[in-house]
Amino acid sequence: MHLPPMMADEGEEGALPQSMLAKFLEARTILIFGGIDQKLAERVSAQMLYLDHLSDAPIKIILNSPGGHVESGDTIHDLISYVRSPVAVIGTGWVASAGTHIFLGAAKEHRYCLPNTRFLIHQPSGGAGGRASDIEIQAHEIVKMRERLAQVISKATGQDIERVRQDIDRDYWMTTDEAKDYGILGKVIRTADEVQF
């Protein structure tokens, strides 16, 4: 399988070689590890769209992330339902902040995690700086983003919007059992065979 150039991250420290990425793509599996940023969103988006172009067979995303840039997370979250291929997300390690946002892009029955995964929801944060008028604009945008994310969490989990607003006011960590009760997680799995489409 020939990979488009933007899928080959071989020059970066800790990046997987192109040959290994090709093997994951042959298995229709995408890896999201680490902070969510624009570069990662571009790579993951390219891989999802490429696999969807090849066929509408299921795609698996393995996710371990502390979060990061919200709008980069938005791109991946939205593409999960945009592509024709059904997408399952398998959380491992931690699924936090913008990582949880990506996780919630999959249908609940396609949201899996391995046994030792932790989940985090919270409100967006920002490092506002500059003139007072610019800081005011940034603060207003963060408030709008906070409400938008609360609405996404509420819709994806079935939780009352007031509860979600209260829960994301501070860091809200969850075990797998707590995430399942909350509606974030569909199923804890131990083997790849348990991922069903």
Residues recognised as catalytic? 97, 122
Q: Are 80 and 159 in contact (CB under 8 A)?
A: no
Residue reference for tokens 């390219």: 46
Q: Are 62 and 29 in contact (CB under 8 A)?
A: yes
Helices (H), 27-173: 38-54, 70-82, 98-103, 132-157, 161-167
Work out whether strand 118-121 and strand 172-174 pair parallel, antiparallel, or are unpaired.
antiparallel
Q: What is the CA radius of gyration of the chain?
A: 17
Helix (H) or strand (E) holding 113: strand 111-113
State the Cα–Cα distance between residues 62 and 152, nearest whole angstrom: 21
Both tokens of 88, joined, read 């399952």
**The length of the chain, given as a count of residues:** 197
